Structure 1
Amino acid sequence: MSNEPGSGGSSPAVIGEVITGEPFVVTRIDVERFESGTWVDRAYPEGDIPEFPVDLVEGFHLLALVDPVLQFALGDKRGQMWGLNYGLDKVRFVSQVHIGDSILPTFETLAIEPKDGGFKVLRRCTFTIVGAERPAMVADWWGYQLPRGVVESSRRS
């Protein structure tokens, strides 16, 4: 059995593996939708304080993009595993991201641990503005991955 990501092998990834996604851009419309969907617009009905740059992308907005951006990077390599969010060990918003910045995502597998018929997978998720020296965000993110069909078959039992 293979240990390649999403191959359906004995584990969902390989420690040390780095997956690099395509650069992406957060638009003004993305920011407005995020603020509406997370109630930020209701929490700050008068708008942000004057010192807050109007084109700044919220750190939690970037963090919310970790899962979909990883899925885009995996593409058809998702294979026979599916996952749940298990939690975060550490998140740092290192550099500002502004609307229109091109962001390069990388995901490094740091640890894999068996758990209840599946695996906990720790990935260091790094978003860096293209051309910048320092990352914009670094998040150590745990996912819990199970082979497809495991949950469905246990429900039928």
Structure 2
Amino acid sequence: MRVFNGADELKAAVGEQLGTSDWVTVEQKQIDTFAEATGDHQWIHVDAERAKDGPFGGTIAHGYLTLSLLPVFSAQVYKVENVKMGINYGLNKVRFTSPVPVNSRLRGSFELLEVSEVKDALQVVNKVTVEIEGSERPACVAEWVTRVYV
């Protein structure tokens, strides 16, 4: 875990690889729960029997489920101390470059692209690459924008 002691240390790290999270397993129960929460019940996600004969040979995680794991990964990679709070601000770019089969293990690697000052906060842009264990292609590559209030 990389720890930044305030804004100046975070700004000084722009351009650096911040680290990589631990592996997280995406199980069918999590996929089903995500489907319930979002209303996305497409068979490639929730119908194991039908998905066996589908293009992926089994169910796959929703792309947005993969994306929703970014805070889990981030919490393991770095934190900024001496700040009031942090919030999601948005995404600049997102690509789902490979499906995530059920029971895959994922992890997130972070590269700090930008830190800029905005009203009462720092806007932080990280390039996050979500890897699938054993796969040459990542599941997702995203530019994630957060705000850290100082």
TM over 0.5: yes
Bigger Rg, which one: 1
CA shift, 1:52, in A, is: 5.9
Q: 1:98 to 1:30 in 2, by over 3 A?
A: same
CA shift, 1:113, in A, is: 0.7
Gaps of 5+ in 2: none
Bigger proportion of residues as strand: 2
5 Å matches for 1:5-154? 5-10=3-8, 12=10, 14-18=13-17, 19-41=19-41, 51=54, 53=56, 54-74=58-78, 77-81=79-83, 82-147=85-150
Offset from partner CA, 1:12-35 (integer Å, 9 cap, x none)? 351122221111111111111111
Distance 1:96 1:9 in 2: 36
- How many residue pairs get matched? 139
- Let me know the Cα RMSD of the aligned residues: 2.3
Distance 1:112 1:5 in 2: 16
Contact 1:85 1:142 in 2 (8 A): yes
Distance 1:12 1:146 in 2: 13
Using the aligned pairs only, state the percent identity.
27
CA shift, 1:136, in A, is: 1.2
Where does residue 155 of structure 1 map in the other structure?
Answer: none
Q: 1:11 to 1:117 in 2, by over 3 A?
A: farther
Contact 1:11 1:119 in 2 (8 A): no
CA shift, 1:9, in A, is: 4.2
CA shift, 1:133, in A, is: 1.8
Contact 2:91 2:144 in 1 (8 A): yes
Distance 2:148 2:9 in 1: 9
